[in-house]
Structure 1
């Protein structure tokens, strides 16, 4: 399960995207970000894997993108790769046009 938690706007010039993977087992997982245009400046941060009470795990990763440099034609994706899946799972998002 790899949803985008949404876009958080604390500083209107920087958008923060959060990708969450939860309810997976075993704990080894890779979350990565893909940008359709690599020239978009960004920074990323990932939390450590957390053990939940039900014995499964969760993890989150955030990506910060400068609002003025993320145009509607640029697609950003979060990919989860886990041993329980036959192929990685990718969720993508585009900025809405103005």
Structure 2
């Protein structure tokens, strides 16, 4: 599991038990240690977590016995939170270092926040030969390489904002923590022929002014304008 510094991270542990008569425990392996340190536990029958250190700090722990799960949430994660986390159901309280947790676990890797990066914008449109008078067509506005998310993508037809026919794909993130967003505008072929121009306008905190990409359809000649 990967996260960036400052983000919140939630880990979930599921178990099967008909009776709430066992201790439920979250533990982790501290830096430069081979043993698992108890972090938080619930006594049998209790929904109130007890933190081994005596204070919750940036941790939030929730036990939901009806759904047979417990969660551990780390708020404002730091690199020091990078570790392997374990959960356990046991008949005795655990506060000391242990090595008898199950061999399963979740590895959390908290990475530094990458530097901010402005987006690049590309407008894709269908070639004239693929436009049919009887079928709708679409324009794609591809926004790539930006951080942090999100970006704002708007469509305009001859200078007037378009409010319908727009769909956006979920954000994707590459291994360098740069994001990509795609907006699709569906249009009727008749509108494509009659229109003067379509514009995709992108705003992002790293941009001093929005980026506009324009496709001119007048005279049946598609011209892409930066």
TM-score computed with the length of structure 2 as normaliser: 0.38
In the alignment, the residues of structure 2 paired with residue 86 and residue 37 of structure 1 have an alpha-carbon distance, to the nearest angstrom, of 21
Aligned-partner SS, 2:165: strand
Question: Which residue is 2:216 aligned to?
Answer: 94
CA distance 1:43–1:7, change in 2 (3 Å): same
Measured after TM superposition, the shift of residue 42 of structure 1 is 5.5
Measured after TM superposition, the shift of residue 73 of structure 1 is 4.8
Correspondent of 1:29 among 151, 164, 185: 151
Question: Which residue is 2:123 aligned to?
Answer: 4
In the alignment, the residues of structure 1 paired with residue 163 and residue 189 of structure 2 have an alpha-carbon distance, to the nearest angstrom, of 10
- Please say which of residues 41-50 and 51-60 is displaced more in the overlay: 41-50
Correspondent of 1:74 among 196, 202, 206: 196
In the alignment, the residues of structure 1 paired with residue 152 and residue 163 of structure 2 have an alpha-carbon distance, to the nearest angstrom, of 22
Question: Which residue is 2:173 aligned to?
Answer: 51
Aligned-partner SS, 2:190: helix
Q: Which has the larger radius of gyration?
A: 2
**Backbone CA RMSD of aligned residues:** 2.6
Aligned-partner SS, 1:97: helix
Does structure 1 conserve the Cα–Cα contact (< 8 Å) formed by 2:157 and 2:195?
A: no
Deviations along 1:46-82, one digit per CA (max 9) or x if unpaired, are 1122111111000000111111122355211001100
TM-score computed with the length of structure 1 as normaliser: 0.82
CA distance 1:68–1:37, change in 2 (3 Å): farther
Instruction: Count how many residue pairs are aligned between Structure 1 and Structure 2.
Output: 97
CA distance 1:41–1:50, change in 2 (3 Å): closer
In the alignment, the residues of structure 1 paired with residue 153 and residue 172 of structure 2 have an alpha-carbon distance, to the nearest angstrom, of 14
Please list every run of 5 or more consecutive structure 2 residues that lacks an aligned counterpart in the other structure: 1-119, 221-226
In the alignment, the residues of structure 2 paired with residue 11 and residue 72 of structure 1 have an alpha-carbon distance, to the nearest angstrom, of 13
In the alignment, the residues of structure 1 paired with residue 144 and residue 218 of structure 2 have an alpha-carbon distance, to the nearest angstrom, of 27
Aligned-partner SS, 1:3: strand
In the alignment, the residues of structure 2 paired with residue 5 and residue 46 of structure 1 have an alpha-carbon distance, to the nearest angstrom, of 14
